Amino acid sequence: ICLGDSAKFSSNVTFPTSYVSWDFGDGSSDTSLTPSHLYAVAGTYQVTFIVWSDDSTCKDTLTQPVVVAPTLVADFLADTVCLSNPTTFTNTTSGLISSLSWDFGDGTGSTFIPDTSHVYPAPGNISVTLIVKSTSVCSDTLTKNIVVYDKPNTQFTIANQCQFVNASPLNSTTT
């Protein structure tokens, strides 16, 4: 389970019982057949389930580990660039990551690369999504908008090309 999620316990006890007890391994306990428990700290807890027979003469005990994975908080940094230059993405996610995927917002993506770069084919405001997972059940997703600026079209001409004559460039820059 993930930190912040309730652990739901159940048993398949089939004979009549007089008493059941759950020890959640963190100092908390419960006496219902199907309790829920919220762990305060990530870690591995030894959970013990004890069942007494209807006449309280026999008991059975089972202990199993429960792993509570740390919380993931997806985050990343991206630089603002001009068209044709690579945008660099830096993963700043907190928590243990076992897999991740990038959606660059232009129909392309990347997996398993924490820090990456991407060249966009067109300028604009683009929504980029990072999905991180720590286990098969713990994940977080973050979408941020980045900006890719259009590149100016810079040109110039020289009005007079004679050697040793003062030449002045003519600016015809467009954006």
pLDDT tens digit string along 101-128? 999 999 999 998 889 999 999 999 999 9
Residue 163 near residue 143, CB atoms below 8 Å: no
Cross-strand pairs, 171? 156
Work out whether the CA dihedral 115, 121, 125, 131 comes out positive or negative: negative
Question: Residue 134's pLDDT band (boundaries 50, 70, 90)?
Answer: confident
CA-only gyration radius of the chain, Å: 30
CA distance 18 to 85: 71
Ramachandran angles phi, psi of 86, nearest 5°: -70, 135
Q: How many other β-carbons are positioned within 10 Å of the β-carbon of residue 135?
A: 14
pLDDT the model gives residue 109 = 93
pLDDT the model gives residue 112 = 83
pLDDT at 89 over 60: yes
Question: Residue 87's pLDDT band (boundaries 50, 70, 90)?
Answer: very high
CA distance 122 to 7: 47
Cβ-count burial of 69 within 10 angstroms (0-12 exposed, 13-18 middle, 19+ buried)? buried
Question: Residue 167's pLDDT band (boundaries 50, 70, 90)?
Answer: low
Question: Between 48 and 167, where is the model more confident?
Answer: 48
